[in-house]
Chain A
Amino acid sequence: MVSDLVPWAVTALGGVAYGLLLFVVADGLALIVGVMNVMNLAHGASYLAGAYLACWLADGTLTGLAVAVLAGIAAAAIAGAGLSVLLKPLAGHTEQAAVTLGIGFIASWAFTRLTGGNTLSPPRPAILDGHLSFAGHGYPVYDLTFIVLAIPLAAGMYLIVRRSMAGIRLRAAVDDPLMAAAQGLSVARIRTIALATGTMLAVTAGVLGAPVIGPGPGVDSHVLTLSLIVVILGGAGTNIRALLTSALLVGMVENIGVATVPALASFSLFLIVIAVLVVRGHRQAVSAA
Chain B
Amino acid sequence: MTSHPTLRIPVARLKRMGAALTVVPLLALSGCGGSSLDDTPNADSTITIGAIWAQSGNYTPLGTDMANGFNLYLTTHGNKLGGHPVVVKTADEGDTDDTALAAARKLLDSDRVDVLVGTASAVPTVKIAPKATTLKIPFIGTGGRPSTIKDVSYIWHTSWLSRETGAAIAPYLAQTVKGPVYAIGPAYTGGYDQMGGFIDAFRKVGGKLANAEGDNPNPDAAFATTPYPVTPDFKPYLNKIRASGAKAVYTFYAGGPATKFVHAYRDAGLSDIPLYGAGFLTEGSQLNPDQEGDAATGIQTVLNYAATVPGQDNADFVQTFQAKYPTIPNLYNVTAWDAAALLDQAIAKAGPHPTGETINAAIGTITQINSPRGTWHFNAQHAPEQQYFLREVRKDGRVLSNVVIRNLTTNIAVSAPPAAK
The verdict on A7 contacting B243 (CB below 8 Å), with A114-B1, A139-B267, A140-B267 known, is: yes
Q: Quick one: CB contact mask for A95-120 with B, threshold 8 Å, 1 for yes?
A: 00000000000000100101111111
Are A255 and B288 in contact, with the CB atoms below 8 A?
no
Q: Which of B2, B227, B236, B239 contacts A118 (CB 8 A)?
A: B2
The verdict on A4 contacting B243 (CB below 8 Å), with A120-B291, A217-B60 known, is: yes
Q: Quick one: CB contact mask for B136-177 with A, threshold 8 Å, 1 for yes?
A: 000000000000000000000000000000000000000000
A28 at the binding interface (Cβ < 8 Å): no
Give complex CA distance A254, B230 in Å: 12
B89 at the binding interface (Cβ < 8 Å): no
- With both chains docked as a complex, state the minimum distance between the C-beta of B28 and any C-beta of chain A, in angstroms: 35
Residues of B within 8 A of A14 (CB): 233, 235-236
Chain B residues touching A, range: 35 or more
Are A11 and B239 in contact, with the CB atoms below 8 A?
yes
Are A11 and B232 in contact, with the CB atoms below 8 A?
no
Give complex CA distance A136, B291 in Å: 25
Q: Which of B226, B239, B291 contacts A265 (CB 8 A)?
A: B226
B293 at the binding interface (Cβ < 8 Å): yes
Are B259 and A119 in contact, with the CB atoms below 8 A?
yes
B114 at the binding interface (Cβ < 8 Å): no
Q: Quick one: CB contact mask for A1-32 with B, threshold 8 Å, 1 for yes?
A: 00010011011001000100000000000000
Mark the stretch among B105-113, B216-224, B317-325, B368-376 that contacts chain A: B216-224
Are A133 and B2 in contact, with the CB atoms below 8 A?
no
Give complex CA distance A259, B237 in Å: 6
B365 at the binding interface (Cβ < 8 Å): no
Are B236 and A256 in contact, with the CB atoms below 8 A?
yes
Q: Which of B63, B229, B233 contacts A255 (CB 8 A)?
A: B233
Residues of B within 8 A of A216 (CB): 58, 256, 259-260
Residues of A within 8 A of B290 (CB): 55, 118, 120-123
A218 at the binding interface (Cβ < 8 Å): yes
Give complex CA distance A133, B95 in Å: 36
- With both chains docked as a complex, state the minimum distance between the C-beta of A132 and any C-beta of chain B, in angstroms: 8
Give complex CA distance A263, B266 in Å: 25
The verdict on A11 contacting B243 (CB below 8 Å), with A116-B61, A118-B2, A120-B2 known, is: no
A88 at the binding interface (Cβ < 8 Å): no
Q: Which of B215, B255, B257, B267 contacts A131 (CB 8 A)?
A: B267
A214 at the binding interface (Cβ < 8 Å): yes
B292 at the binding interface (Cβ < 8 Å): yes
B285 at the binding interface (Cβ < 8 Å): yes
Residues of B within 8 A of A117 (CB): 54-61, 63-64, 256
The verdict on A212 contacting B56 (CB below 8 Å), with A4-B243, A115-B2 known, is: no
| B57, B242, B266 interface centre (most CB from chain A within 10 Å) | B242
Give complex CA distance A100, B39 in Å: 57
Give complex CA distance A241, B232 in Å: 25
A180 at the binding interface (Cβ < 8 Å): no
Are B256 and A119 in contact, with the CB atoms below 8 A?
yes
Residues of A within 8 A of B243 (CB): 4, 7
22 A-B interface contacts by CB (under 8 A):
A7-B240, A10-B235, A14-B236, A18-B232, A18-B233, A56-B1, A115-B1, A116-B60, A118-B2, A119-B259, A120-B290, A120-B291, A121-B263, A131-B267, A136-B242, A138-B268, A218-B58, A255-B233, A259-B239, A262-B215, A262-B216, A263-B218
Residue positions of A touching B, CB distance < 8 A: 4, 7-8, 10-11, 14, 18, 55-56, 109, 112, 114-123, 131, 133, 135-140, 143, 212-214, 216-218, 222, 254-256, 258-259, 262-263, 265-266
Q: Nearest 8 pairs between A and B by C-beta?
A: A138-B269, A117-B60, A119-B256, A259-B236, A266-B227, A216-B256, A7-B239, A140-B267
